[in-house]
Structure 1
Amino acid sequence: MAKHHNSTDPEAQYRESLEGASNGTGVLAWVAHRAKPHTPPWLMTGAAGIGGSLAWVPAHGSAGYAVGLTLGSVGLTAATWWAGKSTTPQRRLHSAVTVAAGSAWFTGVALAGWNSLTFGAFWIGGAVLSLSWNVRQVMRRNPDAVQAATDADGSLLEKVKLAGAKIRRTEVEPNRVTADLVLPAGELTNDDVTKALGNLASGLDVATTAVRYLPDPDSARRGTLTVVPKDMLADVVEWEMPTNVGGSIADPLVIGRYDDGSPLMLWLPGDPQAGRNATHLLICGMSGSGKGDGALNVLTEIMGRRDVIVWLSDPKAFQDFGPLRPGLDWAVEGGAATEAMVSAVQGVIPARTRWLGAHGYRQWTPQAAEPQTDPAHSCRKGRACGCEGMPFLVAWFEEAANTLRFMGEDAFTGAAQEARSAGMALVISLQRPSHDQLSTSTRASLPSVLTFGLDPRDEGMALPGPVLDAGAHPGAWSNRRPGYCYLVTPGVDEQRHSAPGRTWRFTGRAARVMEQLAAWAQRNGAKVDPITAKAAAATVGNAYTQRNGQKDNADASDDPYEGSVYVEQDQDDDMAGRVDPEDTGLDPQAELPPVPDSLASFVLAGPSSVPDFTPEEARAAMDAIVAGFEQAGVMVIGPKDVMEQAEQFGRSRPWVSGEFRRLVEDGRLVPAAQKGRYRIVPAPALV
Structure 2
Amino acid sequence: MARTATRSPRQPVNTSTDLVPVGRGGFISHLAGKAMPYTSPWIGAYTLPPMAGFATNQMWGDSALSAGLASAGLGVAGVVLSAVTWHAAGGSNKFRRYRRTQATASVAAGMGWLTCATAAGPFGSPMIDLWLLGGGVFAASWNIRQLMRNAHDETEPVEEKNSLGKIAEAIGLEKLTVKSAKGNGKGMVQAPIELAAGQTMDDVQAALPKLAAAMQVPTSGATIARNQENAGRGTLNIRVADLLKDGVQFIPPVRLGQLPNEPIPLGLYADGETFIINPFDADILQHLLVMGVTGAGKSEFARGLIAHLATRRKMTIFLADCSKGRQSMGHIADGVDWFLTDGREVKHLLKALPGAIKVRGDVLADEGLDQWTPKSSLNAMVLWLEEAADLADFSELDRIARAARSVGIWLVVSLQRATWTNVSTDVRANLQASACFGVDEAGDAGFGLPDRVIEAGAVPDWGSDRPGYAFATGMGIDQSRWAMEWRSGLTDRAYLAALVAAGAEHRDPLDEATATALGAAYAQRAHRGTNRLNPAPTGQLATAAHVLEEAGADLTTLPSAQEEAITVEIEDAYSEVMGLIPNDPEPDADYSGIDLDGSLPEVPADAGMQFERRDRLGTAEARQVIHEQIDQWLQARQLTFQPADLGPAAVSAGRGKPWLQGELKRLVTEGVLRRDGYGEYTILQSPLIPA
**d(CA) in 1 for partners of 2:193, 2:631:** 69
Residue in structure 1 matched with residue 459 of structure 2 by the alignment? 473
From 430, 441, 450, the equivalent of 1:464 is: 450
From 456, 478, 486, the equivalent of 1:493 is: 478
**d(CA) in 1 for partners of 2:615, 2:294:** 53
- Whether the 8 Å CA contact 2:435–2:470 is kept in 1: the answer is yes
Residue in structure 2 matched with residue 239 of structure 1 by the alignment? 250
Residues 505-544 of structure 1: CA deviation (Å, up to 9, x unaligned) = 23xxx2222332332333321122221222222xxx1542
Matched, 1:250 2:261: yes
Single out whichever of 201-210 and 216-225 deviates more from structure 2: 216-225
From 328, 338, 342, the equivalent of 2:336 is: 328
From 358, 362, 366, the equivalent of 1:350 is: 358
**d(CA) in 2 for partners of 1:512, 1:552:** 19
**d(CA) in 1 for partners of 2:372, 2:405:** 9
Q: Rate the CA distance shift 1:611–1:390 in 2: closer, same or farther, 3 A.
A: same
Q: Rate the CA distance shift 1:660–1:501 in 2: closer, same or farther, 3 A.
A: farther
From 265, 277, 286, the equivalent of 1:279 is: 286
Residue segments in structure 2 that go unaligned for 5+ positions in a row: 1-78, 90-153, 534-584, 592-608
Q: Rate the CA distance shift 1:34–1:259 in 2: closer, same or farther, 3 A.
A: farther
- Whether the 8 Å CA contact 1:283–1:450 is kept in 2: the answer is yes
**d(CA) in 1 for partners of 2:197, 2:529:** 70
Residues 644-687 of structure 1: CA deviation (Å, up to 9, x unaligned) = x8699999xxx999989994796365455x86755334356997
Deviation at 1:286, TM superposition (A): 0.9
- Whether the 8 Å CA contact 2:364–2:372 is kept in 1: the answer is yes
Q: Rate the CA distance shift 1:226–1:663 in 2: closer, same or farther, 3 A.
A: same
Give matches, 1:266-665, under 5 Å: 266-271=277-282, 276-315=283-322, 316-368=324-376, 389-403=377-391, 407-456=392-441, 457-474=443-460, 476-506=461-491, 510-537=492-519, 541=520, 543-545=522-524, 547-548=526-527, 610-611=610-611, 626-637=630-641, 663=664
Tell me the secondary structure at the aligned position of residue 280 of structure 2. Answer: coil
Read off the aligned partner of 1:396 and give its amino acid letter: W
Matched, 1:165 2:176: yes
**d(CA) in 2 for partners of 1:500, 1:550:** 34
Deviation at 1:218, TM superposition (A): 4.3
Q: Rate the CA distance shift 1:261–1:636 in 2: closer, same or farther, 3 A.
A: farther
**What's the Cα RMSD here?**
4.2
Read off the aligned partner of 1:173 and give its amino acid letter: N
- Whether the 8 Å CA contact 2:220–2:459 is kept in 1: the answer is yes
**d(CA) in 1 for partners of 2:657, 2:631:** 15
**d(CA) in 2 for partners of 1:148, 1:169:** 12
- Whether the 8 Å CA contact 1:257–1:502 is kept in 2: the answer is yes
Single out whichever of 259-268 and 176-185 deviates more from structure 2: 176-185
Residues 361-420 of structure 1: CA deviation (Å, up to 9, x unaligned) = 33333333xxxxxxxxxxxxxxxxxxxx332111222232320xxx31232212211222
Give matches, 1:75-86, under 5 Å: none
Residue segments in structure 1 that go unaligned for 5+ positions in a row: 1-27, 39-142, 369-388, 555-601
Tell me the secondary structure at the aligned position of residue 257 of structure 1. Answer: strand
Tell me the secondary structure at the aligned position of residue 281 of structure 2. Answer: coil
- Whether the 8 Å CA contact 2:249–2:267 is kept in 1: the answer is no
**d(CA) in 2 for partners of 1:465, 1:514:** 36
Give matches, 1:178-197, under 5 Å: 178-186=190-198, 188-197=199-208
From 188, 191, 197, the equivalent of 1:176 is: 188
Deviation at 1:314, TM superposition (A): 1.8
- Whether the 8 Å CA contact 1:607–1:648 is kept in 2: the answer is no
Q: Given the two structures, how large is their TM-score scaled by the length of structure 2?
A: 0.59
Q: Rate the CA distance shift 1:215–1:623 in 2: closer, same or farther, 3 A.
A: same
Q: Rate the CA distance shift 1:520–1:155 in 2: closer, same or farther, 3 A.
A: closer
Read off the aligned partner of 2:197 and give its amino acid letter: A
Single out whichever of 357-366 and 419-428 deviates more from structure 2: 357-366
Residue in structure 1 matched with residue 93 of structure 2 by the alignment? none
Q: Rate the CA distance shift 1:184–1:29 in 2: closer, same or farther, 3 A.
A: farther
Read off the aligned partner of 2:611 and give its amino acid letter: P
**d(CA) in 1 for partners of 2:529, 2:208:** 57
Give matches, 1:3-14, under 5 Å: none
Deviation at 1:156, TM superposition (A): 2.1
Single out whichever of 345-354 and 281-290 deviates more from structure 2: 345-354
Q: Rate the CA distance shift 1:401–1:308 in 2: closer, same or farther, 3 A.
A: same
Q: In proportion to residue count, which structure has more helix?
A: 1
Q: Rate the CA distance shift 1:153–1:344 in 2: closer, same or farther, 3 A.
A: same
Q: Rate the CA distance shift 1:355–1:183 in 2: closer, same or farther, 3 A.
A: same
Residue in structure 2 matched with residue 264 of structure 1 by the alignment? 275
Tell me the secondary structure at the aligned position of residue 244 of structure 2. Answer: coil
Deviation at 1:336, TM superposition (A): 1.5
Residue in structure 1 matched with residue 683 of structure 2 by the alignment? 680
Residue in structure 1 matched with residue 596 of structure 2 by the alignment? none
Tell me the secondary structure at the aligned position of residue 342 of structure 1. Answer: helix
- Whether the 8 Å CA contact 1:339–1:636 is kept in 2: the answer is no
Read off the aligned partner of 1:358 and give its amino acid letter: D
Residues 434-479 of structure 1: CA deviation (Å, up to 9, x unaligned) = 11111111111122111211132421111111110111112x2111
Residues 284-325 of structure 1: CA deviation (Å, up to 9, x unaligned) = 211111111111111111112223111222212221111211
**How many residues matched?**
467
Q: Rate the CA distance shift 1:162–1:550 in 2: closer, same or farther, 3 A.
A: closer
Tell me the secondary structure at the aligned position of residue 495 of structure 1. Answer: helix
Deviation at 1:492, TM superposition (A): 1.6
**d(CA) in 2 for partners of 1:431, 1:658:** 50
Read off the aligned partner of 1:502 and give its amino acid letter: R
Residue in structure 1 matched with residue 126 of structure 2 by the alignment? none
**d(CA) in 1 for partners of 2:303, 2:649:** 47
Q: Rate the CA distance shift 1:550–1:393 in 2: closer, same or farther, 3 A.
A: closer
Deviation at 1:159, TM superposition (A): 3.0
Larger Rg: 2
**d(CA) in 1 for partners of 2:641, 2:317:** 25
Tell me the secondary structure at the aligned position of residue 396 of structure 2. Answer: coil
**d(CA) in 2 for partners of 1:432, 1:638:** 35
Tell me the secondary structure at the aligned position of residue 413 of structure 2. Answer: strand
Residues 571-624 of structure 1: CA deviation (Å, up to 9, x unaligned) = xxxxxxxxxxxxxxxxxxxxxxxxxxxxxxx98996895525789899998776
Residue in structure 2 matched with residue 200 of structure 1 by the alignment? 211
Read off the aligned partner of 1:263 and give its amino acid letter: T
Tell me the secondary structure at the aligned position of residue 313 of structure 2. Answer: coil
Read off the aligned partner of 1:479 and give its amino acid letter: S
Q: Rate the CA distance shift 1:257–1:660 in 2: closer, same or farther, 3 A.
A: farther
- Whether the 8 Å CA contact 1:664–1:670 is kept in 2: the answer is no
Identity across matched positions, percent: 27
- Whether the 8 Å CA contact 2:292–2:417 is kept in 1: the answer is yes
**d(CA) in 2 for partners of 1:502, 1:445:** 25
Read off the aligned partner of 2:385 and give its amino acid letter: F
